Amino acid sequence: MQIEVHLFSILRDCLPPGSSGGSASVTLLEGATLADLVRHLGIDRYLRCQVLELTTELGWQVMVAGKFELDLDRPLRDGDKVHIFPPVSGG
């Protein structure tokens, strides 16, 4: 299945070669989850964390089809658009 992924900030380094504008189309097996996408892109290795820590410990935000998602075990569907944003900061 094809997933459109948009990565922001330092995670753009995890996009496949030839990607532009922070986005890419990624092919995953049917039944793949958000965690599978994170592993496929190497985000866990890049951030040196466990996959499930991405949202719970590190504060990265994930959107699937325009809705925020905390559960990285969520199955993806063909054509889903996934956005991964850095933690919010400010003051």
What's the pLDDT score for residue 23?
A: 96
Q: What is the dihedral of CA 25, 46, 73, 77, to 10 degrees?
A: 0
Of 23, 29, 40, 36, give the one whose Cα is nearest residue 84: 23
Domains and CATH numbers, the chain: 2-85 (3.10.20.30)
Low-confidence ranges of the chain (pLDDT < 70): 90-91
What's the pLDDT score for residue 18?
A: 87
